[in-house]
Chains A and B, each alone.
Chain A
Amino acid sequence: MEKKLKIVGFLCNWCSYAGADLAGVSRFQYPADIRVIRVPCSGRVNPLFILKCFQEGADGVLVSGCHPGDCHYQEGNYYTRRRMMMLKDLFCFFGIDKRRFHISWVSASEGKKWADVVTAVVEDVGAALRGSEKQ
């Protein structure tokens, strides 16, 4: 049985959280390793949250927001995109496996995509952990 992973998901309330709800409504099944934190906008996700998650022992972190252009607050996810790009680059530079940190855009009508993203992230994080254990 797959080892239970601890993955923290920061979901923007207007799109990704609604998409996750829609995945529920459409009964798209996906692994139960993710724990969702609802934030008003993906722009609210402070890189310090992600650092603290990894520091406290999270196996993986997913930040999911509206597709650029759809943001309920007009520009939040544009900044998220740049911040996360830099942060992911930084993580890789220091040797944190990039498969443990994911960013995705899931809109309110993409229930299936949400289920697929979570499944992919769980697989990636599992592979990353197995990979590092092998070393």
Chain B
Amino acid sequence: MIGKIREAAKRMLDDGTVRLFLGYGKNGLGDTVPVFLKHKEDVEALYWDETCRYNLTRYLTDRDVICLEEGPVGVIVKGCDQKSLKVLISEKQVERDEIRIVGVVCSGMKDDNEEILSKCGTCDSWNPDETFCDIVIGQTVERKIEEDEYSDVEEVEALDPAQREKLWGKYFDRCLRCYACRNVCPLCYCKECILEQNDPEWVPPSASKENNFYFHIIRAYHLTGRCTDCGECERACPVGIPLRTINRKMIKAVKDGFDFVAGKDPEARSPLTRFRRDDREDFIT
């Protein structure tokens, strides 16, 4: 698999179809890190194994990365990353013809202690979408996709308001406001996040429990109908807050409320930019 990836990258860099190639490599300690290759000679730095968890589409909107080289960019995407890419394209952040998509068949990523990530069990796109990617590397994998009952979300929904507040209070007490969850997310591409504005100031920047509550509510709301549950935010959080549970709550709400799943169609926009005359009204006073 690694050989094919390197060869594909080399060809692209060589014939100039891409000026920059985003892939996975190793650092000194043997950890997998994102690598940015400019020359066909560097393709040796590319690796592929079950720890290539990063969602590289994040860097397609990072001005500091894109401006490294003029011209089209090649990027390796797994099935889950591809969904984020579709949302980015639908929100005009990435021009389809300015990127070359190298889909890699994934057999489920593993975390630090070698267990398959919970998101991969229920993932329906181990095989990247041929019609969407430029090249797909690896044999298609036939597997039975586990039914996603959103048990983590239901667990929280079973609590009464006071218990919920206590639960999230515990987590948000830990939150450092380091914004790793925001900065790792491919859909948080705003030039200046609403949290950093102070005229008017929407959420105070200091990391008290209450302020953190409102930070996470805003983030969850801004991802409603857009988040594809790639899970990077939860992985990046140093203090282990179950951020995926929050995002999946909204994914479930959007699914139930508007029968919409993000990341399926690069043309479809978030349901909050659409409406139906007969939308639900059971919550209206």
Contacts and interface: CB of A to CB of B under 8 A. Distances in A.
A and B touch in the complex (CB under 8 A): yes
Interface of A: 47-48, 51-52, 54-55, 62, 68-69, 75, 78-79, 81-98, 102-105, 117, 120-121, 132, 135
Contacts of A103: 283-285
Given A93-B164, A95-B161, A120-B285, 13 more contacts: A55-B210, A62-B285, A78-B279, A82-B257, A82-B271, A82-B279, A86-B254, A86-B272, A88-B283, A90-B224, A92-B164, A94-B217, A102-B285
A95 B203 contact: no
B179 interface: no
Interface string B248-285: 01100110011000000000000111111101110111
Nearest to B166: A95
Report the contact-size class of chain B (Cβ under 8 Å from the partner): 35 or more
Contacts of A87: 221
Contacts of A79: 272-273, 275
13 contacts: A48-B202, A52-B200, A55-B203, A69-B277, A82-B279, A83-B272, A85-B283, A89-B249, A89-B257, A90-B217, A93-B157, A93-B164, A105-B284
Given A51-B217, A92-B161, A93-B157, A121 B285 contact: yes
B285 A117 contact: yes
B194 A104 contact: no
B43 interface: no
Interface string B136-163: 0000000000000000000011000111
Nearest to B165: A95
B227 to A, nearest CB: 12
A47 B203 CA distance: 13
Interface string B202-224: 11000000110110111011001
